[in-house]
Amino acid sequence: MNNKRIALLGLGTIGQVVFDELVASTNGAWQLAWVVVKHPERHQTVLLPTGAQLTTDWRRAVEDPTVDVVIELIGGIGVAKEAVTSALLHGKQVITANKDLVATAGTELDRLAELYGGALTYEAAVAGGIPIIRTINEGLAPDRIRRVSGILNGTSNYILTAIDQEGLSFDAALKESQAKGFAEANPTKDVTGIDAAYKIIILTKLIFHRTLSLAQLAPTGIDHLSPRLFAAAKEWGLKIKLLASTWESRGQLNYQVAPVALNPSHPLYQVDGVTNAVVIDSEVPRPTSAPGRAVRRRPTAS
Radius of gyration of the chain (CA): 20
Average pLDDT, whole number, for the chain? 90
Tens of pLDDT, residues 53-79:
999 999 999 999 999 999 999 999 999
Tens of pLDDT, residues 172-214:
999 999 999 888 889 999 999 999 999 999 999 999 999 999 9
Task: For residue 45, give the DSSP letter.
Answer: T
Q: What residue type is assigned to position 23 of the chain?
A: V
Question: Are 251 and 208 spatial neighbours (Cβ–Cβ below 8 Å)?
Answer: no
The yes-or-no verdict on residue 142 having pLDDT over 60 is no
The yes-or-no verdict on residue 295 having pLDDT over 60 is no
Sheet holding 93-96, edge to edge: 53-55, 30-36, 4-9, 69-72, 93-96, 119-121
Structure confidence at residue 286 (pLDDT): 47
Round to whole Å and give the CA distance between 62 and 8: 9
Q: What residue type is assigned to position 236 of the chain?
A: W
For 7, the 3-state DSSP assignment is strand
Residues carrying an active site annotation: 199
For 240, the 3-state DSSP assignment is strand
Predicted TM-score (pTM) of the model is 0.89
Mean pLDDT of 110-137: 89
Count of CB atoms situated within 10 Å of the CB of 23? 13
Structure confidence at residue 45 (pLDDT): 86
pLDDT band at 282; cut points 50, 70, 90: confident
Count of CB atoms situated within 10 Å of the CB of 164? 18
Question: Are 102 and 96 spatial neighbours (Cβ–Cβ below 8 Å)?
Answer: yes
Round to whole Å and give the CA distance between 79 and 67: 19
Q: What residue type is assigned to position 260 of the chain?
A: V
Count of CB atoms situated within 10 Å of the CB of 247? 18
Tens of pLDDT, residues 212-269:
999 999 999 999 999 999 999 999 999 999 999 999 998 899 999 999 999 999 999 9
